[in-house]
Structure 1
Amino acid sequence: MQNPFGKGMLPLPPNFITMKNPKTGKVRLGKIGFSISSLIFHYLPAILRSDYYNLACMCGVDMIAYMAIVMIQNSMGIANNTAMTVTYVLTSILWGTIYNLMYVRHLHKLGYVPGDKYSAAKLYKHRYLKRK
């Protein structure tokens, strides 16, 4: 694997990719696969990556899921004190599964392209990006 940061730096793990914006020259790191950090910390990876678009999407989906679970629990006569826990667990599994995909696709929409051949091969192999 080619080291995107030049000589003297450690190479990236095999499941990490680089995305580069040709206009600005900025390089962003992404990951392929399941996001353990989104599973455990929910919104924190989006905040730390300054990924406010996906943060807003996550909050919206979480609110809709919470309202749906409260409505279902009320219709079944179950106490509401479990709605937040159920929502958090279900959406944590959802974000752990798809957050990395959302992040890479959003970067691509912003004009970022794979930073090297290795990253491009990984992104197309795992269907994070579609071939033209």
Structure 2
Amino acid sequence: MSMNPFDNDNNNGNNGMNNMFLPPNYAVVQNKETQEVKVQKVGFSFTTLVFGIWPSVFRGDFYNTLCMIGVDFILAMVLTFLTGLNIAASAYEVFLIMPLAWSFVYNMMFFRHLQNKGFVPIDKRSAELLKRSHYFK
């Protein structure tokens, strides 16, 4: 009898993941050179919605953190230019609104950065999920 509540056959063929079961929207990737394994969610990032850029900082994803901060500051400057608000007010408005936008795209940004660093899906299920979601090319 399977103890997997998601009924997605994760108890079989996980390539040494010690029968770890995963929700259907999580993918496992591994760097073939360093053998580092990452298990991450595919789809909407609720942590980014609630905490803004902090999940990327805690994941050690400083590349995407700097990209997000850069886009936020550029949008604040554009908003200042278009509305005449001072930069502090514009930055405040941007930093209130942008976590919603980042929550839709951050997980994809993270997986694409991992792919550029040499990470590949560890099993067929993860590969299919990442390709179906357009996270990996």
| Pairwise TM-score range, normalised by the shorter structure | 0.7 to 0.9
Q: Does 1:39 align with 2:64?
A: no
1:60 maps to what in 2? 70
Q: Which amino acid aligns with 1:127?
A: H
Q: Does 1:5 align with 2:17?
A: yes
Q: Is the 8 A contact 2:31 2:120 kept in 1?
A: yes
5 Å-filtered alignment, 1:90-129, equals 90-129=97-136
Q: Is the 8 A contact 2:26 2:41 kept in 1?
A: yes
**Gap regions ≥5 residues in structure 2:** 1-9
Distance 1:64 1:104, change over 3 A: same
Q: Is the 8 A contact 2:25 2:41 kept in 1?
A: yes
Q: Does 1:19 align with 2:29?
A: yes
- Ranked by relative contact order (alpha carbons within 8 Å, sequence separation 6 or more), the top structure is 1
- Greater CA deviation, 106-115 or 35-44? 35-44
Match of residue 28, structure 1, among 27, 38, 41: 38
1:93 Cα shift? 1.5
Q: Does 1:86 align with 2:93?
A: yes
Cα separation, 2, equivalents of 1:29 and 1:66: 34
1:79 Cα shift? 6.7
1:81 Cα shift? 6.2
Q: Which amino acid aligns with 1:26?
A: E
2:22 match: secondary structure: coil
Q: Percent identity?
A: 35
TM-score normalized with structure 1 length: 0.85
Could you list the per-position Cα deviations for residues 7-58 of structure 1 after superposition, in whole angstroms to 9, with x for gaps in the alignment? 4x5x121111111011111001221111111111111110111001101101
**Gap regions ≥5 residues in structure 1:** none
Match of residue 69, structure 1, among 79, 88, 108: 79
Cα separation, 2, equivalents of 1:71 and 1:93: 23
TM-score normalized with structure 2 length: 0.83
Distance 1:128 1:80, change over 3 A: closer
- Number of paired residues? 125
